């Protein structure tokens, strides 16, 4: 759905999009695994994986655990003179623990703590700089509000929702041995809204929109921006663009998505994601589908269509398998296979 999801209906993957949604899940327990081959148009050994599970603690709170994994593929290391210097498989990992709670009938908040490990080149020496694996701790703060309007006579239902996530708020990451090699991690603010409507309880339409902004210093050749104190760099990101307000607005990326569900069994999805040409210039459409089986199991598929020809994002796809259970239910793999 165009990489939008801050205010989408809750499921196991709420740990990724907006952890504050977890208490609104209808299932007591859920788990999900996603696989995404990355930059398939360029290489064949890069991929992303996401594994998550949550458990509701009563009706108003939930805990979750998730793992992000990024295999950057095999690197051909070279010396400053171009001589071959061995091979290394670059990997990055984040382990995340989440707690979320309803603070009112329609409002909830979530807190995620994460441990991030980034091993880009081992202990190689590149351009005279000795590199080391980098480790850092960070956290996410999330909020979610939803309001349901139902007509018991007709079965119609209208739900509108709002969400916000401040993600990756934490220390700087350092691949070397000095402060001159510190870098801000991608602290990001996302806000979004959603609208869901069904006239008969069988056909449901969902619409969502997200706006996101990196809360890191705007690169400027005249400043050593990575040397800024953490909070100054993060919260000063709203007013540090060299070209002023115009450039600050260019740093906001928009994502929109639409989804159709038939009888909560089959879904069709589409979306669009766009960045300003001066701030990444990623622009692509997405399409996908999903199916639910036995009210427990789910499979989802998405495909990405870049706007520009020759984009390294061409042929990007995502496959997700999920399961959701209530306390009285058991996981029966045999039934799922049948």
Q: What's the pLDDT score for residue 66?
A: 97
Write down the pLDDT at residue 188: 95
Task: Confirm whether 44 is domain-assigned.
Answer: yes
Looking at every residue in the chain, the average pLDDT score rounds to: 89
Q: pLDDT at residue 177 above 70?
A: no
Residues of the domain holding 185 = 14-337
Q: Assess if residue 5 is contained within a domain.
A: no
* Contact by Cβ (8 Å): 326, 28: yes
Q: Is residue 2 part of a domain?
A: no
User: pLDDT value at position 135?
Assistant: 92
pLDDT, average across residues 232-244: 85
Tokens for 226, please give them: 């990575």
Mean of pLDDT values over 247-258? 94
The model's pLDDT over 120-137, given as tens digits with 9 standing for 90+, comes to 877 766 666 677 888 999
Kind and range of the H or E element at 113? strand 107-119
Checking if the pLDDT of 165 tops 70, the result is: yes
- In the chain, the number of structural domains is 1
pLDDT at position 65:
97
pLDDT score for 126? 65
The answer to the question of residue 199 being in a domain is yes
Asked whether residue 1 is assigned to any structural domain, the reply reads no
Give the CA-trace dihedral at 312, 318, 118, 274, to 10 degrees. 50
pLDDT one-digit tens code per residue, 302-322: 999 999 888 888 889 999 999
Least confident of 60-64, 241-245, 292-296, 298-302: 241-245
Inform me whether the pLDDT recorded for 185 exceeds 60.
yes
Which residues, including other chains, have CB under 8 Å from residue 132's CB and lie 6 or more apart?
Answer: 123, 175, 176, 177
Q: Of residues 175 and 11, which shows the higher confidence score?
A: 11
User: In this structure, is residue 9 part of a structural domain?
Assistant: no
3-state helix, strand, coil in the chain (%, to 5): 10, 55, 35
How far apart (Å, rounded) are the C-alpha atoms in residues 66 and 68? 7
CA atoms 28, 8, 144, 238: torsion sign: positive
Q: Using CA atoms in the order 277, 282, 284, 286, what is the torsion angle rounded to 10 degrees?
A: -150
Q: State the CATH number of the domain containing residue 48.
A: 2.40.160.40
Give the span between the Cα atoms of 278 and 212, in whole angstroms: 15
Q: How far is CA 303 from CA 4, 7, 18, 299, 338, in A?
A: 14, 21, 22, 14, 28
* Residue of 201, 139, 189 whose CA lies nearest to 165: 189
Where residue 33 falls among pLDDT bands split at 50, 70, 90?
very high
Do 6 and 18 touch, CB atoms closer than 8 A?
yes
pLDDT of residue 3: 94
pLDDT at 180: 65
Cβ count within 10 A of residue 297: 18
Q: Can you name the residues that pair with 57 across neighbouring β-strands?
A: none
**What whole-number distance in Å separates Cα of residue 264 and Cα of residue 324?**
14
Residue 8 forms part of a structural domain: no
């Amino acid at each position: 759905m165009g990489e939008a999801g801050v205010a989408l209906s809750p499921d196991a993957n709420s740990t990724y999009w907006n952890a504050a949604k977890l208490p609104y899940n209808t299932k007591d327990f859920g788990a999900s695994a996603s696989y995404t081959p990355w930059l398939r148009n360029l290489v064949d050994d890069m991929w992303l994986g996401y594994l998550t599970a949550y458990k509701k603690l009563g009706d108003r709170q939930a805990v979750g655990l998730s793992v992000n994994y990024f295999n950057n593929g095999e690197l051909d290391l070279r010396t400053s003179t171009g001589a071959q210097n061995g091979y290394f498989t670059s990997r990055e990992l984040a382990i995340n623990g989440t707690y979320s709670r309803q603070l009112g009938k329609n409002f909830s908040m979530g807190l995620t703590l994460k441990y991030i490990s980034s091993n880009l080149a081992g202990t190689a020496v590149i351009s005279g700089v000795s590199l080391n694996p980098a480790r850092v701790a960070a956290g996410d703060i999330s909020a979610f509000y939803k309001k349901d309007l139902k007509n018991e006579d007709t079965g119609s239902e209208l739900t509108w929702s709002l969400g916000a996530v401040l993600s990756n708020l934490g220390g700087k990451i350092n691949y070397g041995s000095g402060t001159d090699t510190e870098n801000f991690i991608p602290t990001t603010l996302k806000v979004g809204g959603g609208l869901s409507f069904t006239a008969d309880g069988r056909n449901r339409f969902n619409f969502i929109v997200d706006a996101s902004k990196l809360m890191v210093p705007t690169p400027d050749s005249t400043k050593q921006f990575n040397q800024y104190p953490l909070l100054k760099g993060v919260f000063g990101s709203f007013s540090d663009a060299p070209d002023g307000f115009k450039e600050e607005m260019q740093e906001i990326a928009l994502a929109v998505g639409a989804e159709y569900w038939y009888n909560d069994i089959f879904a069709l999805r589409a979306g669009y994601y766009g960045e300003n040409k001066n701030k990444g210039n990623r622009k692509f459409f997405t399409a996908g589908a999903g199916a639910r089986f036995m009210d427990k199991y789910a499979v989802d598929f998405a495909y990405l269509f870049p706007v520009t020809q020759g984009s390294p994002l061409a042929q990007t796809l995502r496959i997700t398998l999920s399961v959701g259970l209530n306390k009285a239910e058991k996981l029966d793999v045999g039934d799922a296979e049948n």
